Amino acid sequence: MQSQPASTVSESSIASQTETTSKIELLNMTQEDLKGFFASLNEPPFRAKQVFKWLYHALETDFMEMTNLSLKLRTKLTQIASITDLPLLHEQQSQDGTRKFLFGLHDGARIESVLIPDEKRNTLCISSQVGCALACKFCYTATMGPGRNLTVAEYMGQFLGVSRRLPEDQRITNVVFMGMGEPLVNLKNLFSTLDLLTDDSGLNIGKRRITISTAGLCPQLLELSEKVPVRLAISLHATTDEQRDELMPINKRYNIKKLFETLRHCSTKKRLPVTLEYTLIDQVNDSDADARRLAKLAHSIHAKVNLIPYNEHPGAPDYKRPSAARIERFRDNLQKAHVRATKRATRGDDISAACGQLAILAEESEVPTSAFKAPSRRKTKR
């Protein structure tokens, strides 16, 4: 584990960055919302586009730097509006290049985001909630208990906070909603965030470069597939209701049959690419019979399977990772059944940034308070 160097600022500085104010938060607004906001100030609609570009091209957080706006308007915006700049409390970098960011929120809560660089892509895994109420037995986030939904500004604050810390010639190319929490519980804010990420006059991330991971909330899955055709990653992790009821209590509400009926509907109508995420846990869900049942489920919706060797963590001491031979056998069984099956390269497990390992527990609250404000980048006139 290596800590990234970070300039140190005082606790009062962190507090001032996270302070709740009565100001209007611009990162909560889509471009349409911004037009309405500027109309309410008797400003022409093109102001929305100008400010939108400052926010999402120049990654600017200071109204006074928005030099193509009049001084009068910049001063007014400083008085009545805000742009969330989440304080970075801690950053770690894995030996494999994965970076984990701990951000502070205005109410003292903390969330984690993970950047996974590879040759062609920079994939950002962002959190949707503080904690999670769905209580999956194997998940570290679940040990935080039910928390709260993130605002749109807190979603975008993660994206922009990490973007500002990338080298000048790099950008985030892919986004996965696989961090802390269940994104489909936070549907309204998720839709506004997707609108902002995909807006072609801003960040312009292609919909097929965005993946939403869900434990399988069926009504919300249908609504998502109707409105935004992104990639789906379904946290399946079991092949019988008995197993899944035990591992993922949400299965008692939406069982495997109901989930796959819903997925068939989503993938037929919008041709959404679906991946089944399957965490392999020793002696729990890694038998040959499990592989046969999983192959059948995958074929029923033309899904590919992503096998995730269990990442052990203190929140679920009874679960273990299967042996390498057992993992290979499981994958071979799937491939013999003509299922496209990959084994996820475990990234960042030396810094607990791997799948199912994100959590901020009370006993870990003594994190280094090395918060710092990232420099704005790409300052160009808009």
Q: Which residues are catalytic?
A: 112, 355
CB 336 within 8 A of CB 260: no
State residue 6 phi and psi, 5-degree precision.
-150, 140
For 29, 127, 229, 357, the CA distances from 150, given in Å and listed in that order, are 14, 8, 22, 19
* 203 vs 59: CA distance, rounded Å: 10
Which is nearer to ligand SF4, 111 or 215 (by Cβ)? 215
Which is nearer to ligand SF4, 55 or 134 (by Cβ)? 134
Say which residues have a Cβ less than 8 Å from residue 45's Cβ, sequence separation at least 6.
35, 38, 39
- Determine the size of the site formed for ligand SF4 (CB under 6 A): 11
* 74 vs 283: CA distance, rounded Å: 62
132 scored as a contact of ligand SF4 (CB under 6 A): yes
Q: Which stretch binds ligand SF4 (CB under 6 A): 59-67, 139-147, 327-335, 340-348?
A: 139-147
Our separate counts of H helices and E strands in the chain read 11, 15
Q: Which of residues 232-261 bind ligand SF4 (CB under 6 A)?
A: 235
Q: Which of residues 206-225 bind ligand SF4 (CB under 6 A)?
A: 215
* Interface pick for ligand SF4 out of 141, 149, 189, 192 (rule CB under 6 A): 141
* Interface pick for ligand SF4 out of 139, 234, 256, 291 (rule CB under 6 A): 139
Which is nearer to ligand SF4, 163 or 279 (by Cβ)? 279
Token representation of residue 272? 């959404």
Q: Which stretch binds ligand SF4 (CB under 6 A): 16-24, 68-76, 109-117, 129-137?
A: 129-137
Q: Which of residues 165-184 bind ligand SF4 (CB under 6 A)?
A: 181-182
Query: Which helix (H) or strand (E) segment is 275 a member of?
Result: strand 274-280
Which is nearer to ligand SF4, 59 or 102 (by Cβ)? 102
Q: Which stretch binds ligand SF4 (CB under 6 A): 22-30, 68-76, 134-142, 223-231?
A: 134-142
* 180 vs 136: CA distance, rounded Å: 12
CB 267 within 8 A of CB 320: no
Closest distance to ligand SF4 from the beta carbon of 317 (Å): 17
Question: Distance from CA of residue 308 to its chain's centroid?
Answer: 18
194 scored as a contact of ligand SF4 (CB under 6 A): no
* 46 vs 49: CA distance, rounded Å: 5
111 scored as a contact of ligand SF4 (CB under 6 A): no
Q: Which of residues 284-323 bind ligand SF4 (CB under 6 A)?
A: none
Which is nearer to ligand SF4, 38 or 177 (by Cβ)? 177
Closest distance to ligand SF4 from the beta carbon of 126 (Å): 12
Q: How many CB atoms lie within 10 A of CB 196?
A: 24
With vertex at residue 341, the alpha carbon angle to CA 260 and CA 239, rounded to the nearest 5 degrees, is: 40
Which is nearer to ligand SF4, 142 or 374 (by Cβ)? 142
Within 13 Å of residue 339, how many CA atoms lie on the same side as its CB?
28
61 scored as a contact of ligand SF4 (CB under 6 A): no
Crossing angle (nearest 10°) for helices 324-336 and 288-300: 40
Q: Which stretch binds ligand SF4 (CB under 6 A): 75-83, 136-144, 256-264, 368-376?
A: 136-144
Contact set with ligand SF4 (CB under 6 A): 132, 134-136, 139, 141-142, 181-182, 215, 235
